[in-house]
């Protein structure tokens, strides 16, 4: 049976890729992915065949992977972060219904939430949720409802895709929604270019976050009511006694 490995390559730096992910890419024949992600790994896996598609061509990319596997090639479909967190794993299974002769194996990776959390300190020690602010595939009304309910439940909230040129005010809109249930003094954090050159982290309040410009290469962390700024680090206590 032919096989495709769906590989999470982590946030960017080769050092943050799992050993298993690196081994799979070393042993495959073809590496397929979104252009930006292929550029991140190309220098480390010389001699491989690289195939890419641009954004919004995800289905075409999946079909390409299955067609290459049918030729008897060892194929790796790569995604940034973890393939199962806003990655290609789900779509590969959906498209794979049409290719029952091809087996899939998912290789997990470090997602932006955990990669960025380590830069800021320890913001995700207690219950948290991930919400993408991109309304390309999810209606804004549903995103709004998720933001409101997660804020009311006092989750730490990690925001992916906070802003883009077309969505320049989405983070501000999200902050206004969260401020209905969270204090303006809630400790928040931003990490840009996680695991890549130019990585930067910053801690600020939710009130300050509302008026901050970000981009698609930034991950946003909004604390819960217990989250603290401890010596410049964002920390959410688990609740251990005698501390």
Instruction: Provide the 8-state DSSP code for 14.
Output: G
Q: Where are the beta strands (DSSP E) in 54-127?
A: 75-79, 102-107, 121-122
pLDDT at 165: 84
* The predicted structure's pLDDT at residue 13: 87
Does any domain span residue 241? no
Of 56, 79, 107, which residue is a domain's last? Answer: 107
User: Does the pLDDT value for residue 242 go beyond 80?
Assistant: no
130 and 164: one domain?
yes
| 215 in a structural domain | yes
Q: In total, how many domains does the chain have?
A: 2
Q: What long-range pairs does 129-132 form, CB within 8 A, spacing at least 24?
A: 129/155, 129/156, 129/157, 129/158, 130/85, 130/86, 130/158, 130/159, 130/160, 131/157, 131/158, 131/159, 131/160, 132/86, 132/159, 132/160, 132/161
Are 147 and 205 in the same domain? yes
Q: What is the pLDDT of residues 84-135, one digit of tens each?
A: 999 999 999 999 999 999 999 999 999 999 999 999 999 999 999 999 999 9
The answer to whether position 145 is within a domain reads yes
Q: 171-230 pLDDT, tens per residue?
A: 999 999 999 999 999 999 999 999 888 999 999 999 999 999 999 899 999 999 999 999
Nearest Cα to Cα of residue 83 among 70, 96, 93: 93
Quote the mean pLDDT of the chain: 95
Q: Which of 80, 107, 134 is the last residue of a domain?
A: 107
102 lies in the same domain as 172: no
Q: Are 77 and 32 in contact (CB under 8 A)?
A: yes
- Residue 1 clears pLDDT 80, i.e. is over it: no
Q: Report phi then psi at 109, rounded to 5.
A: -145, 180
Q: Which pLDDT belongs to residue 243? A: 63
Say what the pLDDT of residue 149 is.
Answer: 98
Domain range spanning residue 20?
2-107
Evaluate whether residue 191 is within a structural domain.
yes
What pLDDT shows up at residue 4? 98
Shared domain check, 143 and 98: no
CATH of the domain at 165: 3.30.950.10
Place of tokens 């061509």: 57
Predicted pLDDT at 95:
98
Q: Are 200 and 228 in the same domain?
A: yes
- pLDDT for 73 equals 96
Q: Quick one: which of 53, 8, 12, 57 has its CA closest to 34? A: 53
Residue at a domain's end among 83, 107, 131: 107
Same domain, 27 and 59: yes
Do 24 and 6 share a domain, yes or no? yes
């Amino acid at each position: 049976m032919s096989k495709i490995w769906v590989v999470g390559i982590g946030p960017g730096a080769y050092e943050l890729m799992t050993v298993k992910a690196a081994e799979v890419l070393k042993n495959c024949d073809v590496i397929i992915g979104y252009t930006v992600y292929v550029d991140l790994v190309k220098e480390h896996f010389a001699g491989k065949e690289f195939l890419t598609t641009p954004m919004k061509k995800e289905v075409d990319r999946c079909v390409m992977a299955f067609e290459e596997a049918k030729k008897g090639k060892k194929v790796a479909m790569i995604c940034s972060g973890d393939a199962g967190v806003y990655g290609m794993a789900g779509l590969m299974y959906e498209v794979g219904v049409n290719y029952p002769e091809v087996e899939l194996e998912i290789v997990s990776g470090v997602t932006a939430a955990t990669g960025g959390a380590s830069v800021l300190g320890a913001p995700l020690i207690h219950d948290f949720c991930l919400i993408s602010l991109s309304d390309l595939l999810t209606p804004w009304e549903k995103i709004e409802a998720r933001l409101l309910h997660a804020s009311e439940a006092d989750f730490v909230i990690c925001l992916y895709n906070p802003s883009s040129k077309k969505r320049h005010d989405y983070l501000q809109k999200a902050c206004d929604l969260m401020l209905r249930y969270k204090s303006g003094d809630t400790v928040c954090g931003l990490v840009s270019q996680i695991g890549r050159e130019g990585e930067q982290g910053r801690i600020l309040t939710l009130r300050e976050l509302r008026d901050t410009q970000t981009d698609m290469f930034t991950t946003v962390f909004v604390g819960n009511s217990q989250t603290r700024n401890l010596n410049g680090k964002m920390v959410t206590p688990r609740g251990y006694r005698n501390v």
